């Protein structure tokens, strides 16, 4: 009886260990694309500036508006200023507030305008500081494939956002192409739903180091025909010349002050 009991316990232990091993293997297989994507993103962030992104002040001009981004750890203050028919406009966005002033007078705005201005400022700063934002806690990353674009090999990383904390555009989806040799972010694409929706593909141009941070301008492309268009293979459309230039994204008068 004692021998039988020991055998049962032994077989039960083996079964439990096998299940645990299988579960671990499944979990490893499940998370492999996420882990690989994280490694490529970490390398890109390091290549573009690394920890310099975390505590700094950046100022630049974009489309006749002046932007400033101050980051200190997880805290940030983003400022946009310009002049229009109403006077001197200044928007200040922080982790938990948005204020617009016109000629130094605080404006009372409806909630939808606050959301629109917040999204607009966030978008400009987010793209200007790429790839830094790709390690935000709301970001979900997955390595899809390795692809060739203009004779270079790229890790193709899918990025989506969690609904909680992901902002008003959490449904937007992105593809980031990280050069496997240099670690630079040379291309990215995204699909968005706001203002009627659309698809864009950006090619980095004019890379330069300012304050030990790599800044890039972009040629912004869109599909010539969206009928049966496969966003997830958009790099093939680019290499085949089936995307047309939509605009250029150019940052001017960049200044960086690292806050260490």
For the stretch 126-151, pLDDT in tens is 999 999 999 998 899 999 999 999 99
pLDDT, residue 3, reads 40
**Tens-digit pLDDT profile for residues 64-119:** 999 999 999 889 999 999 999 999 999 999 999 999 999 999 999 999 999 999 99
Instruction: Note whether residue 228 is domain-resident.
Output: yes
- Is residue 194 very low, low, confident or very high in pLDDT (cuts 50, 70, 90)? confident
8 compared with 13, residue with greater pLDDT:
13
pLDDT, residue 259, reads 61
Name the domain count of the chain.
1
Answer yes or no: is pLDDT of 176 > 70.
Answer: yes
What range defines the domain where residue 126 resides?
37-258
Instruction: Note whether residue 19 is domain-resident.
Output: no
CB 172 within 8 A of CB 199: no
pLDDT, residue 1, reads 45
CATH at 76: 2.50.20
pLDDT, residue 29, reads 42
Instruction: Note whether residue 7 is domain-resident.
Output: no
- Mean pLDDT for the chain overall: 87
Answer yes or no: is pLDDT of 165 > 90.
Answer: no
């Amino acid at each position: 009886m004692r021998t039988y009991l020991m055998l049962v316990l032994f077989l039960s232990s083996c079964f439990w260990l096998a299940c645990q091993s299988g579960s671990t293997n499944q979990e490893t297989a499940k998370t492999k694309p996420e882990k690989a994507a994280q490694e490529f993103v970490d390398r890109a962030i390091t290549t573009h500036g690394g920890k310099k992104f975390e505590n700094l002040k950046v100022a630049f001009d974009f489309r006749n508006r002046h932007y400033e981004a101050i980051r200190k750890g997880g805290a940030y203050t983003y400022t946009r200023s310009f002049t229009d028919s109403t006077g001197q406009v200044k928007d200040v966005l922080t982790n938990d507030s948005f204020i617009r002033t016109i000629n130094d007078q605080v404006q009372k705005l409806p909630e939808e305008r606050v959301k629109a201005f917040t999204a607009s400022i966030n978008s400009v700063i987010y793209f200007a500081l790429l790839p830094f934002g790709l390690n935000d806690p709301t970001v979900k990353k997955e390595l899809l494939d390795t692809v060739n674009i203009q004779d270079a090999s790229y890790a193709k990383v899918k990025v989506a956002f969690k609904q909680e904390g992901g902002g008003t555009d959490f449904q937007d989806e992105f593809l980031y192409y990280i050069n496997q040799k240099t670690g630079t972010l040379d291309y990215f694409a995204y699909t968005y739903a706001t203002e009627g929706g659309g698809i864009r593909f950006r090619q980095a141009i004019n890379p330069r180091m300012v304050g030990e941070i790599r800044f890039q301008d972009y040629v912004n492309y869109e599909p010539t025909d969206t009928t049966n268009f496969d966003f997830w293979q958009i790099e093939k459309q680019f290499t085949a010349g089936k995307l047309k230039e939509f605009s250029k994204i150019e940052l001017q008068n960049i200044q960086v002050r690292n806050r260490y």
